[in-house]
């Protein structure tokens, strides 16, 4: 096999682990390996040393080494095959990162984002929103309408509903902070969300607000986010100018 030539055994220098440190040994090993991989010192496609030898040289047990490797395998940096060995995968294929967090970071990437709170009121939840949030219809929610700008242009019209017993909100808060930032600051961590992305033509009023022609294509996104306890934190129904915005996602299988 010619591939053997291009798959050199990569070594990890021995003296590495610090047994006085409070950070677990397996994590120290994993971090060390990750560094070597990211610096390119182990090279894409290279086989790393086998578990047994690596454990011996680092002075830790095989289960500890194994756990370190497993950690990196789960993060998508390594691939193991029984009877073969453990290889470094291509950087392009890494990042099992769940998904681009939300939407803010996308606009924040290059263009100066700005958010204008058009309205904010507490009202009883209508049926559709109550259903999405899995709360009783009529439960008081804070209903927010915001207009997001990027690069001086309107980008998105966002509607959100947050149950008041989840978090009371004021317009001042939202003027300076993102909704998710406010949630997190109050100990409310969204864990999963379901999104539906679609498209439709702009209504006359939407077109006016977003500075588009009537009938222009809009991207729509409806989302509900839950925390660890399964409590719905937020419902959102947003429309984006398709001419200025798109969703980018990285998915990983297996």
The tally of CA atoms less than 13 A away on the side-chain side of residue 43 is 11
Mark 114-131 as b/e (b = at least 16 C-beta within 10 Å).
Answer: ebebeebeeeebeeebbe
Which CB sits closer to a second copy, 171 or 228?
Answer: 228
Which residue of 6, 8, 14, 24 would you call a contact of DNA, by CB under 7 A?
A: 24
Q: Select from 50-58, 112-120, 128-136, 244-252 the region that touches DNA (CB under 7 A).
A: 50-58
Smallest CA-to-CA distance from 244 within 175, 178, 148, 177 is with: 148
Q: Check residue 5 for interaction with DNA (CB under 7 A).
A: no
CA pair distance 16, 80, nearest whole angstrom = 23
Q: What is the DSSP letter of 53?
A: H
Picking from 116, 210, 120, 226, the residue whose alpha carbon sits closest to that of residue 166 is: 226
What is d(CA 11, CA 115) in angstroms, rounded to the nearest whole number?
51
Q: What is the rounded end-to-end Cα distance, in angstroms, of the chain?
A: 28
Distance, in Å, from the CA atom of 14 to the CA atom of 114, rounded to the nearest integer, reads 51
Among a second copy, DNA, none, residue 81 binds (CB under 5-8 Å by kind):
DNA
The partner in contact with residue 168, picked from DNA, a second copy, none with C-beta cut-offs of 5 to 8 angstroms by kind, is none
Across the beta sheet with 9-10, the strand order is 9-10, 47-48, 85-88, 78-81
Instruction: Assess 228 for contact with DNA (CB under 7 A).
Output: no
Of 60 and 161, which CB lies nearer to DNA in the complex structure?
A: 60
Convert residues 79-118 into a mask of x (bound to a second copy by CB under 8 A) and - (unbound): x---------xxxxxxxx-xx-x-----------------
Nearer residue to a second copy within complex by CB, 67 or 114 = 67
CA 76 – CA 81 distance, rounded (Å): 14
Q: 99 or 112, CB closer to a second copy?
A: 99
Q: Which of 25, 77, 107, 158 binds DNA (CB under 7 A)?
A: 25
Please identify, among the stretches 17-25, 136-144, 201-209, 226-234, the one whose residues bind DNA according to the rule CB under 7 A.
Answer: 17-25
List the x/- string, 132-171, binding to a second copy by CB under 8 A: --x-------------------------------------
Among 21-29, 100-108, 112-120, 246-254, which window interacts with DNA (CB under 7 A)? 21-29
Question: What's the maximum distance between 2 C-alpha atoms anywhere in the chain?
Answer: 71
Task: Report what 25 binds from a second copy, DNA, none; CB cut-off 5-8 Å by kind.
Answer: DNA
- The residue among 187 and 230 lying less far from DNA, judged by its C-beta, is 187
């Amino acid at each position: 096999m010619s591939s053997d030539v291009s798959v050199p055994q990569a070594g990890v220098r021995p003296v590495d682990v610090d047994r006085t440190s409070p950070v677990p040994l397996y994590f120290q090993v994993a971090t060390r390996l990750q560094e070597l991989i990211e610096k390119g010192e182990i090279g894409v496609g290279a086989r790393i040393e086998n578990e047994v030898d690596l454990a011996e040289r680092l002075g830790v047990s095989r289960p500890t080494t194994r756990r370190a490797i497993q950690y990196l395998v789960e993060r998508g940096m390594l691939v193991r095959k029984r009877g073969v060995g453990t290889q470094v995968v291509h950087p392009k294929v890494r990042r099992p990162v769940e998904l681009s967090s939300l939407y803010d970071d996308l606009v924040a990437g290059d263009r100066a984002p700005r958010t204008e709170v058009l309205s904010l009121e507490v009202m009883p939840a209508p049926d559709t929103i109550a259903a999405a949030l899995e709360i009783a219809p009529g439960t008081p929610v804070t209903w927010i309408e915001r207009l997001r700008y990027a690069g001086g242009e309107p980008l998105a019209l966002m509607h959100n509903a947050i149950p008041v017993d989840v978090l009371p909100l004021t317009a001042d808060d939202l003027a300076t902070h993102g909704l998710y930032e406010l949630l997190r600051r109050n100990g409310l961590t969204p864990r999963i969300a379901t999104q539906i992305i679609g498209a439709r033509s702009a209504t006359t009023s939407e077109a006016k607000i977003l500075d588009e022609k009537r009938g222009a294509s809009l991207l729509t996104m409806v989302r509900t986010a839950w925390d660890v306890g399964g409590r719905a934190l937020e419902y959102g129904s947003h429309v984006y100018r398709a001419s200025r915005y798109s969703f980018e996602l990285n998915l990983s299988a297996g």
